[in-house]
Amino acid sequence: MVSVCMITYNHENFIHEAIEGVLTQKCNFPIELMIGEDCSNDKTRQICLEYASKYSEISLLPSESNLGMMANFIRTLQVSTGKYIALCEGDDYWTDPYKLQKQVDFLEANEDYVLCTHSVDELDENNKFIRILKPDFIKNEYTYRDLNINLTIWTCSVVFRNCIKEMPKWLNSLPAGDFPLWLLLSKYGGIKYLDETMSVYRNNNSGVHSSLSRTKKIINGLVLVKKVKIYFPLEYQDFFKEHNKLYLNFLSNEINELSSQEKYSEARKSIFLMLKYDITLKSLQFPKFKVMVNIIIGNKLWLFLMGLKGKRKLKKIIN
């Protein structure tokens, strides 16, 4: 059996497609759909209840109060009993009715692999196509060393072996759960990418992750690496160092780009965010001193100070 874990919150405009994408799967094994509905304040729960009353394979897990993304994700995973687990969030959906069959067939035939993924179509919240999300470099097998470097795994694309019997408690303290889950699974085998597009990732501006600024996403990545690395053995630490360096380069480039566009207030907010999450300023490749001063004290005050300096120089020359 395959357990499909679907977490949802305020997805009334999208949840139909997400559920239908599961119900239309054609496969030679049973499916259970576990929907973790996190106390939405729109019609999401009502829609889920209607589906659950019609289809016995759907189990609705309603929460009495909003648990938050990670707590909802973990509790939905923990009640899934299938040999394999597939993921699809409530604003994404599957487009290939044979998606599960193809991925399960691969895992059944290849016991040394733990997870199977594929490319996805990226759409905006208005269903406008943006691009196909797939690896730049395709190879037969990926490991944890490829994650977010050679291979980005989209949640709506995965099927994996249900081999983690109890999710670690530290998962609940993280800003995101997919990347740590891929790392945990990588201890049990390889990762396979199928070069087919079988689902849709919706880049939804109202979503928790999609609505964040680019700087906040990068800082979340740094915080995630910092929190996760202490739970993994020595062999993983070079991987985490590489990721930390990668995110710091992204952050340096972002602040430099904001500065070049004279968006000093936004650059300043980025620095405040760094300080909030204990990311040291010396770890960044900062711009020239003049630009750095502009970021800290503002462009107008810098010009005023430079004007005073110019007046003092002129007065010396006259004297």
Q: Residue 175 has what pLDDT?
A: 76
Nearest Cα residue to 192 out of 160, 231, 165, 225: 160
- Asked if 27 contacts 100 with a C-beta cutoff of 8 angstroms, the reply is yes
Q: What is the pLDDT along the chain (319 residues), one digit of tens a residue?
A: 999 999 999 999 999 999 999 999 999 999 999 999 999 999 999 999 999 999 999 999 999 999 999 999 999 999 999 999 999 999 999 999 999 999 999 999 999 999 999 999 999 878 899 999 999 889 999 999 999 888 999 999 999 999 998 888 888 888 788 999 999 999 999 999 999 999 999 987 555 555 567 788 888 888 888 888 998 989 999 999 998 888 888 888 887 787 777 777 777 777 777 777 677 666 666 554 445 555 555 554 444 444 444 444 444 444 4
Q: Residue 304 has what pLDDT?
A: 45
From residue 77, give the alpha-carbon distance in Å to each of 61, 82, 123.
11, 10, 26
Domains delineated in the chain: 2-203 (3.90.550.10), 214-304 (no CATH)
- Stated length of the chain: 319
Angle at which helix 214-228 crosses helix 178-185, to 10 degrees, equals 40
Q: With b meaning 16 or more CB within 10 Å and e meaning fewer, what string describes 247-257?
A: bbebbbebbbe
User: What pTM value is reported for the model?
Assistant: 0.82
Q: Residue 305 has what pLDDT?
A: 44
Count of other CB atoms within 10 angstroms of residue 28: 7
Task: Please classify residue 112 by burial: count the beta carbons closer than 10 Å to its beta carbon, then call 0-12 exposed, 13-18 middle and 19+ buried.
Answer: exposed
Q: Residue 308 has what pLDDT?
A: 45
Residue corresponding to tokens 């500065």:
259
- C-alpha span between 158 and 116 (Å, rounded): 6
